[in-house]
Structures are given as C-alpha cells and as structure tokens.
Amino acid sequence: MRVLVVYAHNEKKSFNHALLDSAIRTLEEEGHNVTVSDLYEQEFDPVISRKDFTPEYEIDRREHVNYALEYGKAWKEGRIDKKIVREQEKLDEADLVIFQFPMFWMSMPAILKGWFDRVFIENYAFGEGGKYYDTARFSGKKALISITTGGGRGWFTDHSPNGDINVILWPIQVGIIDNGILRFVGFDVLAAQVHYAVETATEKERQLILSGWTKRLKRLSEEKPIEFVSLSQYEYEDASKPIQGMRLKEKTLDQNADSGFGLTVGQHLGKPIPPNSLIYNNKVIES
C-alpha cells in the first residue's frame, strides 16, 4: 500500500514520535511505501485566510468572502496555495492515511484541525455532484487515527468523568456536514488505536504499547472497517427542502427494532450504543 501518515506533535522525543517511527519502520518492512506530513516540522499554518488563494484570483478586491464557496471555486480553477495542493496530492496518492496525534481538549491539536479546515475543501474532498459519505472523494481508501491520552483507560468509559471514548471519537471518525472528517469524505475507517496514559507509563508499559502497535500494523490489510449506516438508508425529511435534514428509513428502523443496541454511536435510536464499536481492542494487543 501507499501510506500517508499525518503527524501532529511538536516534540521529536515524544511518545507520539516513537509511535510514528514504529509505524514507518514496520510498514516499510512490510513492503509499503510511506510518506509523512509532519505538520509542525512543515510549520503548517492552520488558519484559513485570504492568503490561501493565489494572487490572480484577486480575492483581496472583495469586501466579503464566503470562504467555503470561494475556496471550492478557486480549487476547481487551480487558484489555491500550492502548499495545500501538495497535501491534497499526498492524499490522492495514498491507499491508507494514518493520523497520529495526542488528544487535546477531547479533540485534536489545533494544527491538525486547521489542516482539515484548509485541505478537505468543498469540491475537492466532498460536495460537488452530491458526493458525501459513501460517494465522496476518498471512497475506497482507508483511514486510521492513532491517539495518545494523558488519562488512563478508566477515565474514558461510560461511567467516568470524561465519558465514553467512543462518543468522544465519533465526530472525528464519522464527521457531520460542515465538519467533514473521515467517513464524511468517503474513507473506510478502521477502528481507532488509543494509547492510554502514556505520560505516566513505565518504560516496560511503553514498550508493550509500541509492540502492540507494531503487531496491529502488520495485520492492517486483514482488518475490516467500522460499520456505519449507509447514506442509502436515509431519506430526506422534506424532499422539497433537503437542507432541513435526513432521517433513517422505516425499513432500517424495523430491521433494528429487536436489537438491544442502537445502530451506531450516532444513530443509537435511544438505545445503548454498541460497546467499543469505534476503538481497537487494546487489551488484547498490549497484553
């Protein structure tokens, strides 16, 4: 496979960097071609601005700019910053994209969020011709997030102060309109790799985490992606006003009627969410 690793950590001696090094080494040993976008090393600017447009687009002549619409139009005309185009080229070349980052405030570092804001633009990653979810640009490609946390596993359950890790990860792995991440832009999303409490882990524990990560990377081609509800199982609430929203079809609801769990974390239908449906079973790989 051609693998792109989008890496967001500012320290070379961090455990995130050790996970990055392990991924590069393991994947290359398995015969894969690995490219890395090290966002801090690249000094990637996470802030959207008029500088994202090339001078000939003459964006500065306008008093008001609808960024999303103008950026999508400029992309189609080949009039956006070459640094953004290069990131898009890396994505287009990849079969698998791994996102390696520490959890910041129950989400991702600002530099990575800004990368999504500036790279996953309308008409490129999604949107044109109704391309969302199953039919978006990255359909057929795989994506995987690998994150580190400060707290231990017990801080991320449905009985803990932080709440269920599956709920925390849902917006990143699935995405919603205006925040199109991973599944929203078409990726087949593999279960998240969560490395808990790395700051306080002993050296032996860190080696076990790295070993588990390596073992999983060697078997990635065997993994099936997370199951999400296909867009074909929805219908518009009001076909004359599609912007108002969509809802699950009655047929889909009927098929789930006897289940003890909801369909997914997001479409839980008022039932318990499927347990650990978005994360890889770390207890197995780290033992």
Please name each of the domains of the chain with its CATH number: 2-226 (3.40.50.360)
Question: Cβ(111)–Cβ(20) under 8 Å?
Answer: no
Question: Cβ(212)–Cβ(286) under 8 Å?
Answer: yes
Q: Which two tokens stand for residue 184?
A: 């929203």
**Nearest Cα residue to 134 out of 184, 202, 67:** 184
**How far is the CA of 74 from the CAs of 33, 93, 115, 131, 157, in angstroms?**
31, 22, 18, 18, 44
What pLDDT shows up at residue 96?
A: 97
Q: What pLDDT, in 10s, does the model give residues 229-265?
A: 888 898 988 888 877 888 999 999 999 999 999 998 8
User: How far is 70 from 136, CA to CA, in rounded Å?
Assistant: 20
Reduced to 3 states (helix: H, G, I; strand: E, B; else coil), residue 199 is coil
Residue 77, class by beta-carbon neighbours within 10 Å (0-12 exposed, 13-18 middle, 19+ buried)? exposed
Q: Which amino acid is it at 181? A: I
Q: What pLDDT, in 10s, does the model give residues 109-158?
A: 999 999 999 999 989 998 876 688 888 899 999 999 999 999 999 988 88
What pLDDT shows up at residue 179?
A: 42
User: How far is 255 from 225, CA to CA, in rounded Å?
Assistant: 21
**Nearest Cα residue to 52 out of 137, 126, 117:** 117
Q: What is the pTM of this model?
A: 0.91
What pLDDT shows up at residue 130?
A: 63
Q: Phi and psi dihedrals of 239, rounded to 5?
A: -60, -25
Dihedral sign for Cα atoms in the order 146, 152, 154, 160: negative
Q: How far apart are the first and last CA of the chain?
A: 28
Comparing 265 with 4, the larger pLDDT belongs to: 4
Q: Which two tokens stand for residue 74?
A: 């400029």
